[in-house]
């Protein structure tokens, strides 16, 4: 070979390298360089890979300098190595993971910002990724809806990603097909439609706040002018939207600023637990209740609700009213505040209404009235009016433009769609996500009408009830698998970036719409990116985009408050709401309480606290998660008040196996409503409104998957379009048989033991040490000298006052520590494995009790009783005070559990951990052992995180900083109720907390010296109201 | 307690001698060895052994299931992490106390009436302890690692955690088993020699000959023999007391209300003797009838055992009383709730049944008429066996079901597998016992000769 | 000559002479007499322990108790050290905040091991001192000796005894009114 040719070869080799470098340097920013669909799809890349080796290899033979060789290898392999995380199914060149891509250090996780979408609204999260496998969801501190915390749903969503039951292939009439087959199939029909302007094309989506998706839909409507875009969300915010329109005449998005609210009146609003901003609201709310470190002020919460809720459990004053009575109550309050609304009300029924109103008026500009999504528009309008009247607008309430891409009355929209389907006007129905066949109001007969549509397409995570009715089913990408964007409750937009290439041949809604637009080549990445190119992002786009993806929020997208002008309250605010009749002539339950059983009751439909609207039905973590107040798992039930249960003669029996901690047999009842009937187990809930039944949606799925099928009953079966949230005229009667429910804590009372110590604010001011209790013998003497803990001494403090019992910590713990799901039968035998449980106690009358939540992890006692009795030393103390479990040494005597006064130890009675299912393996946290049969396990204070931080600190040759170690439960907690750190460092947050006068230990009279302690609960009752 | 019969022994001996008159060295030897050597094996033996063998198969089946599928087959859960397994363990161990007690303590107390019952009582002890030993193994989550409870040069470089009462159990029970076995065997040696010399079939001669180790009754051997036997008795006596004390530590050392109590050791030991003697009676009464041994196991023996039962039963009753009193007197809300829960909680029937069987029924033993009525004694003995099992159930399960945190309260009920192992262990016990009475002298022959020699008038 | 030699050697060819009695008293008497006669190498056999019989033939004290005591001490010290070594020296661990050498909790096992070792010493010592197991012993060559474990009592004077003389010894034994006197084949 002639030298010059060789040189020329080398020359263009360098050229290639240069282009590679700039490519790497440019668009694919470091934050998301691993997500490579677009990179690998781009033909330059293909050329690069194909051309590079052969040519240079030729060059190599005739003595290329070693440096050149290495440079070439390095560059090509670096690029190739990147897409090693794509599964082999993809038709791209796979190159083994031979050398170290920058940033990845095996064993050290990376975090990527994205957002968790629920009902179309996003909560910012950071996703922990181990060598390309997302394993854990954390909150995104920069994101307004998260502030670093998450709820249980976000935590559990990682399991859905790896769910083996997810739909994996395009299906045509149930038979396996392909994406391209789908495109060719629908192409002709689309063409036909385009000719007629898309008159027969309908698109049904869930609520959409994604700007890009909204834009795509608008483009589609532009292409098909007479096509229609419908939206339906089973747990909708229609009432709130309508209420806004009633009050202001325009669509508004209401944002509450609880950090400014001294007095809060909730009209059936569970704002701490549900709704698009629950995590943020919980944080703000709790912030105003903490009285530690000098702060002595505390907000006051009044809750009027039918079904005991997480929010209601936090109330200083709570009143249980049937849903239909609440508008009436709202009107009464409004009237007393001075609004021109008439309300028929006998004041003595609502004892403390006057005190409430005085309290509100005393706190102008610092009070807030919140209406629940279940309440009719009128109540929302009234709430707006009251907030206006109390000068709260701008202070505790802020209005912005709606965050939805296209706000509309979803129920009406669905009605219209069904009508069109019935009339045969619909020729193509494209359902992007959602599961309307299962969730649509039963009286619309959605499924039957759907059958009339000639071409039905459905995309979803699962092959569910709806896809069974469709010609085409397209597997949807999980939000961790694809690019997208979404808005938060305050309009803040987030770019969703994928953490892993699609596990199955999934397609995002963006790609599907692009295909319909005839641009099937486009990837989600291009679509989203191009959309935002069009928007004005501060500074130059590249940096702005990279910052946005990195931070998890797009700067400057938060909606600005807009000024609104209130219309005069009018009586037609209540027109059409199902509660009208009720409102006009309220039926106080003081009248004929001994009425005949089966007399008409009221029914309230609520999203399930763990399965939401049913979309999480196949998520084992959520199925097994004890519901906040009922502590039920794997089932829903018809909730009734103790009195009503007594009147109806409903009974229960505690099972002999498991008992209070597991198995309860309750009467099966039949609910007759609007000519339809339903069988459900009855469950007695203290504090529930009388003559009212609450049923939770989301159960009774038939095509959810292995986990979700056949759990509970389907409440959608009697839910009508006219009364989606509540209605009257339910007949209930016992069937005579009983049903087994898995309940992890059936015992309500604290049995006079001071486990949760609580006091009213006044008491606390008088006696700040009340929490120390009567017996002060914390340091009950020991004949033995205690152990000295020099260096770190890890400890935890849990603020019972802040805990709202939302369960986020429980799921976070399960995700972090590879805790197995045991299934209903084992739960009924008292064998669930949760390391962290939330105890729920009631105090006071069963009609309207006080509720207490107490998260109970391992106490890591310094004098651990469990360690003493272990015959093989499988549980022992670290010199930092951790109560360690050595799984591989455990022989399973279970003596430690018997001797644990807190009963926080969990035992693998069988082989619970699933070692078989391949798709679950990448889910596991590689830093935590997966336990096998016959060994004990329990909370470790996330020892893997502790050691991770210690190693980090040692490498940097410094002590571990306070707040550097965050346990999984602590990280997830929306209300910052959990503190963790080094108690030897006296200025650590946890040490300060433990120094507080509210600090107390559990069962310290046993001289266990627990490292986990609690901060007592405080209530702030209105002095004018004497507690009943 | 055993001194009671001594006081009025004179007149009682007249009424019920420890061996009916008219027996010679030859007659006792022939009568007892004939059962093993010459007599045709009676039908009831085949029936009894058959049944117990079937139960033994049930045991093996259950064990196989538990080992392959998991300890979750049992009814245990959190909080009640111990169930039938430990209940049965303590029950069997308790039963296993009578044998060594009779052989050792009564020997030291020079009680002649021990001599005709000690042999099979010791055998019973061995089998009971064997059954007991089964359960701690089975209740483990990973039984195949049970050897980790013994000290041995481990590759993990780690030893048992010697502060755990479970390790104490391991040592106490295995020591007890070893010593009881030696005691029993040493006692057997001269009788094995007898069988060797009496046997006619070659194999029998050979087998017994091997076991007899060439015993020839030399005066010097006898001299050392008696010394060794005495020393063993002296060692076994405190051992017997220590074993159930250690077993009671399993509970007393823990802090569970209803377990954490200083009265446990004494009243566990009393309870053990109580149930032990009950089981001896349960076995002795049918045996003496079936094999016509009324001459050797006379009413005197039954009466004395009844008296021991009465005495120990009273100690147990005192234990219950003190538990209740201390629960109230301590002012400890957990203890108080526990007592209330035992009496009126979900398991109330267990507690009252236990009081009925253990305390109420045995009071009829105050009447001599009852103490000398064989049938009545048999029924009472059965009652006490049941009662003592219930006691362990109440202690283990009821205490665990409701301890400190109401949020963690639960319940326990046994599964078919629990019962399978329990019934099966009874099968194992009786199968072993039937083999024993068939192939070994169930009464110590040489001690009966001694008895004959001592009781007959000196020439 | 040769005949005479054979006759000379005859008495040495036996293990000893054995007398059979029908009761413990008779045996005891005979034994005492034999000892008074100056016989030392003899042994008495009875189906159950007869008080004073061993003393009668000049056997007074046994070392067994001392052995058992030593065994007990070894078991006690070893038992405690085992636990001390395991929890303090070999693998010290913080167990429930208790000190490494929490000796009160080591006592039960120490006690059990004391008993165990002492008991084993007692039994093994017994067998060892008695020379058991012994597969062969000349006394069993006597047909009647099978009753030694039933209801007969025997006194055997060994030919190895310096004072042993076939005729004189036989005469002496017969003077004790035995049921019979037999020669014991070696």
Q: Which residues in chain C are contacts of B214 at CB distance < 8 A?
A: 132-137
Q: CA-nearest residue of chain C to B236?
A: C115
pLDDT-based confidence at residue A113 (cuts at 50, 70, 90):
very high
> What's the pLDDT at C160?
84
Is residue A287 a part of any domain in this protein? yes
More confident residue, A62 or A353: A353
- What are the angstrom distances between the C-alpha of A842 and each of A313, A713, A850, B333, C6? 10, 27, 6, 19, 110
> What's the pLDDT at A768?
86
Span A319-351, pLDDT tens digits: 999 998 898 889 889 888 888 887 666 656 677
Is residue C109 a part of any domain in this protein? yes
> What's the pLDDT at A12?
44
Q: Is the pLDDT of residue A62 over 60?
A: no
Q: Partners for A (CB, 8 Å, 3+ pairs)? A: B, C
Is residue C73 a part of any domain in this protein? yes
Q: Which H or E run contains A117?
A: strand A110-118
Q: Is the pLDDT of residue A777 over 70?
A: no
Question: Cβ of A891 and B140 within 8 Å?
Answer: yes
pLDDT-based confidence at residue A2 (cuts at 50, 70, 90):
very low
Span A449-467, pLDDT tens digits: 999 999 999 999 999 999 9
pLDDT-based confidence at residue A593 (cuts at 50, 70, 90):
very low
Q: Which range has the worst mean pLDDT, A780-784, B47-51, B225-229, C25-29?
A: A780-784
- Contact, A658 vs B413, CB < 8 A? no
CB proximity A873 to C under 8 Å: yes
Q: Which residues in chain B are contacts of C34 at CB distance < 8 A?
A: none
Q: Is the pLDDT of residue A38 over 80?
A: no
- What are the angstrom distances between the C-alpha of A503 and each of A359, A432, C85, C180? 56, 19, 55, 102
d(CA B243, CA B87): 16
Q: Is the pLDDT of residue A34 over 70?
A: no
> What's the pLDDT at A76?
52
- The answer for C 124-183 residues in CB contact with A (under 8 A) is none
> What's the pLDDT at A255?
94
> What's the pLDDT at A1?
38
Contacts of C76 (CB under 8 A, 6+ apart): C110, C111, C113, C114
pLDDT > 90: percent of chain A: 66
Q: CA-nearest residue of chain A to B252?
A: A899
pLDDT-based confidence at residue A566 (cuts at 50, 70, 90):
confident
> What's the pLDDT at A89?
46
Q: To the nearest whole angstrom, how far is the Cα of C45 from the nearest Cα of chain B?
A: 4
CB proximity A595 to C under 8 Å: no
In this structure, the answer to whether residues A795 and A939 fall within a common structural domain is yes
Region A382-403 average pLDDT: 93
Is residue A569 a part of any domain in this protein? no
Question: Cβ of A890 and B149 within 8 Å?
Answer: no
In this structure, the answer to whether residues A337 and A354 fall within a common structural domain is yes
Q: To the nearest whole angstrom, how far is the Cα of C108 from the nearest Cα of chain B?
A: 6
pLDDT-based confidence at residue A999 (cuts at 50, 70, 90):
very high
Is residue A560 a part of any domain in this protein? no
Q: Is this prediction's pTM over 0.90? A: no
Is residue C82 a part of any domain in this protein? yes
Sheet with A121-130: strands ordered across: A110-118, A121-130, A133-139
pLDDT-based confidence at residue A578 (cuts at 50, 70, 90):
very low
Query: Which of A785, A787, A866 shows the shortest C-beta gap to C94?
Result: A787
Question: Cβ of A877 and C99 within 8 Å?
Answer: no
The number of residues making up chain C comes to 186
In this structure, the answer to whether residues A917 and A816 fall within a common structural domain is yes
> What's the pLDDT at A209?
94
Span A621-638, pLDDT tens digits: 999 999 999 999 999 999
pLDDT-based confidence at residue B381 (cuts at 50, 70, 90):
very high
For residue B408, what are its two tokens? 């963690």
Chains B and C form CB pairs within 8 A to the count of 198
CB proximity A862 to C under 8 Å: yes
pLDDT-based confidence at residue A374 (cuts at 50, 70, 90):
very high
The number of residues making up chain A comes to 1028
Is residue C10 a part of any domain in this protein? no
pLDDT-based confidence at residue C112 (cuts at 50, 70, 90):
very high
d(CA A704, CA A682): 24
Q: 3-state class of A407 per DSSP?
A: coil
- The answer for A 977-1016 residues in CB contact with C (under 8 A) is 1009
Is residue A92 a part of any domain in this protein? no
Which value, in Å, is the radius of gyration of the alpha carbons in chain A?
30
Q: Is the pLDDT of residue B118 over 70?
A: yes
Region C118-133 average pLDDT: 92
Q: Is the pLDDT of residue A84 over 60?
A: no
Span C159-174, pLDDT tens digits: 888 888 888 888 888 8
Q: Is the pLDDT of residue B30 over 70?
A: yes
Is residue C177 a part of any domain in this protein? no
Q: Is the pLDDT of residue C79 over 70?
A: yes
Q: How many domains does chain C have?
A: 1
Q: To the nearest whole angstrom, how far is the Cα of B208 from the nearest Cα of chain C?
A: 12
Region B38-48 average pLDDT: 88
Span A909-964, pLDDT tens digits: 999 999 988 999 999 999 999 999 999 999 999 999 999 999 999 999 999 999 99
Is residue A581 a part of any domain in this protein? no
> What's the pLDDT at C5?
47
Span A145-185, pLDDT tens digits: 999 999 999 999 999 999 999 999 999 988 999 999 999 98
> B333-344 and B299-330 helices cross at what angle (nearest 10)?
130
Q: To the nearest whole angstrom, how far is the Cα of B72 from the nearest Cα of chain C?
A: 28
> What's the pLDDT at A98?
65
Q: Which H or E run contains A176?
A: strand A175-176
In this structure, the answer to whether residues A300 and A372 fall within a common structural domain is yes
d(CA B148, CA B161): 10
Query: Which of C91, C93, C99 shows the shortest C-beta gap to A784?
Result: C99
CATH code assigned at A625? 2.40.40.20
When the pLDDT of each residue in chain A is averaged and rounded to a whole number, the result is 85
Closest CA to B86 of B359, B323, B397: B397
> What's the pLDDT at A1027?
60
Span A875-891, pLDDT tens digits: 999 999 999 999 999 99
Which structural domain, as residue segments, surrounds residue A613?
A: 600-743
Q: How many domains does chain A have?
A: 5
Contacts of B219 (CB under 8 A, 6+ apart): C31, C43, C44, C45, C46, C50, C53, C54, C56, C57, C59
Report the relative pairing of strands A317-320 and A300-305 from DSSP bridges. parallel
- The answer for C 73-92 residues in CB contact with A (under 8 A) is 91
- How many helices (H) and strands (E) chain A has is answered by 30, 38
> What's the pLDDT at B12?
52
> What's the pLDDT at A838?
95
Q: Which range has the worst mean pLDDT, A131-135, A970-974, B111-115, C89-93?
A: B111-115
d(CA A113, CA A123): 11
Closest CA to A1002 of A868, A859, A852: A859
Span A634-671, pLDDT tens digits: 999 999 999 999 999 999 999 888 888 989 999 999 99
Is residue A492 a part of any domain in this protein? no
> What's the pLDDT at A233?
93
Region A235-264 average pLDDT: 92
Q: Which residues in chain B are contacts of A856 at CB distance < 8 A?
A: 405, 407
pLDDT-based confidence at residue A75 (cuts at 50, 70, 90):
low
Q: Is the pLDDT of residue C138 over 90?
A: no
DSSP 8-class letter at A779: T
ipTM of the complex: 0.90
Q: Which residues in chain A are contacts of B81 at CB distance < 8 A?
A: 894-895, 897-898, 907
Q: CA-nearest residue of chain B to C125?
A: B228
> What's the pLDDT at A295?
72
Q: Which residues in chain C are contacts of A866 at CB distance < 8 A?
A: 96
Which structural domain, as residue segments, surrounds residue C81?
A: 64-130
When the pLDDT of each residue in chain C is averaged and rounded to a whole number, the result is 86
For residue A388, what are its two tokens? 């206006």
Span A664-683, pLDDT tens digits: 999 999 999 989 999 999 99
Region A589-609 average pLDDT: 66
In this structure, the answer to whether residues A521 and A618 fall within a common structural domain is no
Q: Is the pLDDT of residue A18 over 70?
A: no
Q: Is the pLDDT of residue B93 over 70?
A: yes
Q: Which residues in chain A are contacts of C98 at CB distance < 8 A?
A: 784, 863, 868
> What's the pLDDT at B41?
85
CB proximity A785 to C under 8 Å: yes
For residue B275, what are its two tokens? 């149930």
Q: Which of A400, A417, A445 is the last residue of a domain?
A: A400
Task: Answer whether the bond into residue C133 is a cis peptide, omega within 30°.
Answer: yes
Give the ranges where A820-928 is alpha helix by DSSP (H): 824-828, 865-869, 895-898
pLDDT-based confidence at residue A73 (cuts at 50, 70, 90):
low
In this structure, the answer to whether residues A617 and A684 fall within a common structural domain is yes
> What's the pLDDT at A496?
93
d(CA A255, CA A251): 13
φ and ψ at residue B175, rounded to 5 degrees? -60, -45
CB atoms within 10 A of CB A791: 10
> What's the pLDDT at A587?
41
Q: Is the pLDDT of residue C10 over 60?
A: no
In this structure, the answer to whether residues A44 and A183 fall within a common structural domain is no
d(CA C147, CA C27): 14
In this structure, the answer to whether residues A903 and A943 fall within a common structural domain is yes
Region B226-240 average pLDDT: 91
CB proximity A781 to C under 8 Å: no
For residue B312, what are its two tokens? 């120990």
φ and ψ at residue A770, rounded to 5 degrees? -55, -30
Span A504-516, pLDDT tens digits: 888 999 999 999 9
Question: Cβ of A868 and C99 within 8 Å?
Answer: no
> What's the pLDDT at B16?
64
> What's the pLDDT at C35?
87
Question: Cβ of C54 and B167 within 8 Å?
Answer: no
- A965: buried, middle or exposed (CB in 10 Å: 19+, 13-18, 0-12)? buried
Q: To the nearest whole angstrom, how far is the Cα of A634 from the nearest Cα of chain B?
A: 19
Q: Which of A333, A366, A400 is the last residue of a domain?
A: A400
Query: Which of C94, C96, C99 shows the shortest C-beta gap to A785?
Result: C99
Q: CA-nearest residue of chain C to A862?
A: C97
Q: Which domains does chain B have, with CATH numbers?
A: 6-455 (1.20.1630.10)
In this structure, the answer to whether residues A762 and A713 fall within a common structural domain is no
Question: Cβ of C96 and A785 within 8 Å?
Answer: no
In this structure, the answer to whether residues A795 and A833 fall within a common structural domain is yes
In this structure, the answer to whether residues A417 and A524 fall within a common structural domain is yes
pLDDT-based confidence at residue B66 (cuts at 50, 70, 90):
very high
Q: Is the pLDDT of residue B298 over 90?
A: no
In this structure, the answer to whether residues A721 and A763 fall within a common structural domain is no
What does B235-302 look like in DSSP terms, one character per residue?
Answer: HHHHHHHHHHHHHHHHHHTS-STTT--TTHHHHHHHHHHHHHHHHHHHHHHHHHHHTT-TTTS-HHHH
């Amino acid at each position: 070979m002639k030298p010059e040719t060789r040189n020329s070869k080398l020359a263009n080799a360098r050229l290639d390298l240069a282009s590679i470098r700039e490519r790497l340097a440019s668009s694919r920013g470091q934050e998301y360089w691993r997500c490579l669909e677009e990179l690998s799809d781009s033909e330059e890349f293909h050329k690069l890979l194909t051309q590079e080796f052969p040519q240079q290899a030729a060059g190599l033979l005739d003595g290329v300098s070693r440096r050149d060789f290495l440079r070439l290898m390095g560059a090509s392999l670096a690029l190739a190595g990147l897409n090693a995380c794509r599964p082999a199914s993809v038709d791209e060149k796979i190159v083994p993971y031979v050398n170290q891509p920058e940033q990845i250090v095996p064993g050290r996780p990376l975090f990527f910002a994205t957002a968790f979408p629920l009902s179309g609204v996003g909560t910012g999260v950071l996703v922990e990724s181990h060598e390309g496998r997302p394993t854990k969801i954390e909150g995104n501190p920069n994101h307004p809806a998260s502030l670093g915390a998450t709820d249980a749903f976000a935590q559990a969503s990682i399991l859905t990603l790896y769910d083996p039951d997810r739909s994996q292939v395009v299906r045509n009439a149930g038979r396996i097909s392909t994406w391209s087959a789908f495109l060719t199939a629908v192409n002709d029909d689309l063409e036909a439609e385009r000719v007629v302007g898309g008159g027969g094309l309908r698109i049904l989506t869930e609520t959409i706040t994604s700007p890009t998706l909204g834009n795509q839909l608008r483009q589609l409507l532009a292409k098909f002018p007479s096509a229609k875009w419908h939206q339906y969300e089973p747990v909708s915010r229609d009432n709130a939207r309508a209420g806004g329109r009633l009050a202001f005449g325009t669509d508004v998005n209401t944002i509450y600023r609880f950090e400014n609210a001294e007095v809060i009146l909730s009209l059936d609003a569970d704002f701490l637990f549900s709704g698009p901003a629950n995590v943020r609201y919980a944080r703000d709310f709790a912030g105003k209740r903490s009285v530690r470190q000098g702060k002595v002020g505390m907000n006051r919460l009044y809750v009027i609700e039918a079904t005991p809720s997480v929010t209601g459990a936090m109330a200083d004053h709570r009143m249980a009213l049937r849903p239909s009575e609440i508008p009436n109550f709202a009107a009464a309050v409004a009237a007393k505040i001075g609004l021109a609304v008439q309300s028929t009300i006998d004041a003595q029924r609502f004892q403390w209404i006057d005190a409430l109103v005085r309290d509100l008026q005393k706190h102008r500009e610092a009070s807030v009235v919140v209406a629940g999504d279940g309440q009719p528009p009128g109540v929302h309008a009234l709430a707006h009016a009251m907030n206006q009247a109390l000068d709260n607008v701008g202070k505790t309430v802020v209005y912005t433009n709606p965050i939805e891409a296209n706000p509309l009355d979803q129920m009406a929209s669905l009605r219209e769609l069904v009508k069109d389907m019935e009339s045969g006007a619909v020729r193509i129905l494209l359902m992007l996500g959602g599961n309307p066949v299962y969730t649509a109001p039963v009286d619309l007969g959605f499924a039957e009408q759907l059958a009339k549509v000639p071409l039905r397409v459905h995309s979803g995570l699962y092959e569910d009830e709806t896809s069974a009715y469709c010609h085409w089913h397209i597997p949807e990408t999980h939000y961790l698998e694809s690019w997208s964007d979404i808005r938060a409750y305050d309009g803040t937009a987030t770019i969703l970036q994928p953490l892993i290439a699609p596990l199955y041949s999934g397609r995002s809604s963006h790609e599907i719409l692009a295909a319909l637009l005839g641009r099937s080549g486009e990837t989600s990445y291009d679509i989203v990116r191009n959309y935002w190119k069009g928007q004005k992002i501060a500074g130059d786009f590249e940096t702005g985009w990279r910052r946005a993806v990195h931070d998890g929020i797009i700067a400057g997208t938060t909606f600005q408050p807009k000024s609104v002008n209130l219309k005069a309250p009018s009586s037609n605010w209540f027109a059409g709401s199902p509660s009208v009749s009720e409102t006009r002539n309220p039926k106080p339950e003081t009248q004929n309480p001994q009425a005949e059983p089966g007399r008409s009751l009221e029914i309230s439909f609520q999203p399930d606290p763990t399965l939401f609207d049913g979309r999480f039905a196949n998520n084992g973590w959520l199925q097994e998660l004890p519901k906040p107040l009922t502590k039920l798992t794997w089932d829903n039930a018809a909730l009734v008040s103790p009195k009503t249960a007594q009147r109806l003669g409903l009974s229960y029996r505690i099972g002999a196996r498991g008992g209070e901690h597991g198995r309860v047999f309750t009467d099966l009842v039949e609910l007759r409503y609007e000519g339809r009937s339903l069988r459900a187990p009855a469950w007695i809930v203290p504090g529930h409104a009388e003559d009212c039944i609450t049923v939770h949606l989301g159960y009774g799925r038939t095509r959810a998957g292995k986990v979700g099928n056949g759990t509970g009953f389907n409440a959608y079966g009697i839910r009508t379009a006219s009364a989606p949230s509540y209605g009257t005229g339910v007949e209930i009667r016992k069937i005579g048989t009983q049903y087994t429910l898995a309940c992890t804590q059936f015992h309500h009372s604290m049995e006079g033991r001071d486990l949760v110590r609580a006091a009213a604010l006044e008491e606390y001011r008088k006696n700040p040490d009340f929490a120390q209790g009567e017996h002060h013998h914390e340091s009950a003497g020991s004949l033995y000298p205690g152990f000295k803990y020099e260096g770190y001494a890890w400890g935890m403090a849990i603020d019972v006052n802040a805990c709202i019992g939302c369960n986020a910590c429980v799921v976070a713990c399960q995700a972090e520590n590879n805790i197995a799901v045991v299934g209903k039968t084992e739960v009924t035998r008292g064998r669930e494995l949760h390391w962290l449980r939330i105890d729920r106690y009631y105090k006071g009358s069963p009609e309207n009790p006080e509720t207490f939540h107490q998260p109970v992890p391992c106490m890591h006692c310094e004098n651990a009783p469990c360690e003493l009795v272990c015959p093989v030393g499988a549980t022992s103390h670290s010199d930092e005070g951790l109560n360690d479990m050595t799984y591989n040494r455990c022989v399973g005597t279970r003596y430690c559990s018997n001797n644990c006064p807190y009963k926080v130890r969990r035992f693998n009675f069988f082989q619970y951990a699933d070692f078989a299912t391949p798709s679950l393996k990448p889910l596991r946290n590689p830093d935590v052992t997966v336990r096998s049969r016959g060994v004990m396990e329990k909370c470790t204070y996330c020892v893997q995180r502790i050691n991770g931080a210690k190693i980090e600190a040692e490498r940097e040759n410094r002590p571990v900083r306070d707040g550097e170690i965050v346990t999984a439960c602590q990280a997830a907690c929306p209300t910052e109720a959990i503190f963790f750190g080094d108690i030897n460092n006296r200025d650590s947050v946890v040490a300060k907390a433990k120094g507080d006068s509210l600090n107390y230990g559990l069962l310290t009279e046993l001289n266990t010296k627990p490292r986990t302690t609690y901060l007592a609960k405080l209530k702030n009752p209105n002095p004018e109201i004497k507690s009943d | 307690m055993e001194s009671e019969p001594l006081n009025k022994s004179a007149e009682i001996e007249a009424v019920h001698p420890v061996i009916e008159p008219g027996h010679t060295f030859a007659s006792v030897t022939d009568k007892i060895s004939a059962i093993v050597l010459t007599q045709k094996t009676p039908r009831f033996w085949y029936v009894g052994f058959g049944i117990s063998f079937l139960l033994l198969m049930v045991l093996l089946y259950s064990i196989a299931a538990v080992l392959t599928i998991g300890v979750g087959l049992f009814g245990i859960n959190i909080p009640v992490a111990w169930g039938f397994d430990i209940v049965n363990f303590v029950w069997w161990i308790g039963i296993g106390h009578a044998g060594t007690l009779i052989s050792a303590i009564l020997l030291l107390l020079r009680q002649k009436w021990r001599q005709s019952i000690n042999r099979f009582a010791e055998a019973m002890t061995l089998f009971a302890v064997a059954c007991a030993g089964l359960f701690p193994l089975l209740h483990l989550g990973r039984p195949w690692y049970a050897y980790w409870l013994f000290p041995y040069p481990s590759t993990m470089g780690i030893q048992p955690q010697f502060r755990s009462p479970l390790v104490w159990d391991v040592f106490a029970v295995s020591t007890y088993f070893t010593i009881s076995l030696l005691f029993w065997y040493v006692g057997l040696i001269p009788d094995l020699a007898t069988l060797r010399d009496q046997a006619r079939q070659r194999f029998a001669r050979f087998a017994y000959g091997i076991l007899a180790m060439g015993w020839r009754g030399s005066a010097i051997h006898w001299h050392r023999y008696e010394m060794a036997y005495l020393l063993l008795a002296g060692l076994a006596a405190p051992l017997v007391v220590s074993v159930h004390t250690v077993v009671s530590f399993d509970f007393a050392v823990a802090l569970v209300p209803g377990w954490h109590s200083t009265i446990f050791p004494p009243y566990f030991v009393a309870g053990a003797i109580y149930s032990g003697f009950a089981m001896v009676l349960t076995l002795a009464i049918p045996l003496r009838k079936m094999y016509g041994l009324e001459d050797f196991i006379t009413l005197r023996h039954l009466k004395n055992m009844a008296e021991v039962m009465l005495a120990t039963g009273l100690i147990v009753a005192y234990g219950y009383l003190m538990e209740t009193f201390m629960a109230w007197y301590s002012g400890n809300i957990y203890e108080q709730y526990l007592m209330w829960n035992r009496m009126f909680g979900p398991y109330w029937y267990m507690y009252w049944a236990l009081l009925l069987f253990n305390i109420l029924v045995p009071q009829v033993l105050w009447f001599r008429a009852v103490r000398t009525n064989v049938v009545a004694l048999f029924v009472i003995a059965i009652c006490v066996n049941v009662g003592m099992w219930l006691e362990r159930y109440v202690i283990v399960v009821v205490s665990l079901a409701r301890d400190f945190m109401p949020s963690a309260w639960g319940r326990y009920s046994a599964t078919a597998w629990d019962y399978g192992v329990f019934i099966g262990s009874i099968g194992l016990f009786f199968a072993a016992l039937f083999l024993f009475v068939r192939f070994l002298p169930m009464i110590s022959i040489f001690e009966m000769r001694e008895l004959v020699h001592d009781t007959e008038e000196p020439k | 000559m040769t005949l005479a030699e054979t006759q000379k050697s005859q008495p040495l060819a036996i293990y000893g002479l054995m007398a059979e009695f029908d009761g413990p008293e008779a045996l005891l008497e005979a034994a005492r007499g034999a000892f008074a006669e100056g016989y030392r190498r003899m042994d008495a056999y009875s189906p159950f322990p007869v008080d004073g019989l061993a003393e009668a033939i000049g056997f007074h004290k046994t070392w067994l108790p001392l052995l058992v005591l030593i065994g007990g001490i070894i078991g006690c010290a070893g038992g405690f050290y085992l636990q001390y070594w395991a929890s303090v020296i070999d693998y010290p661990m913080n167990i429930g905040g208790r000190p490494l050498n929490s000796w009160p909790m080591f006592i039960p096992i120490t006690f059990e091991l004391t008993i165990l070792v002492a008991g084993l010493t007692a039994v093994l010592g017994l067998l060892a001192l008695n020379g058991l197991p012994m597969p062969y012993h000349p006394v069993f060559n006597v047909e009647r000796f099978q009753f030694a474990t039933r209801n007969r009592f025997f006194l055997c004077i060994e030919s190895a005894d310096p004072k042993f003389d076939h005729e004189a010894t036989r005469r002496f034994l017969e003077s004790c009114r035995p049921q019979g006197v037999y020669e014991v084949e070696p």
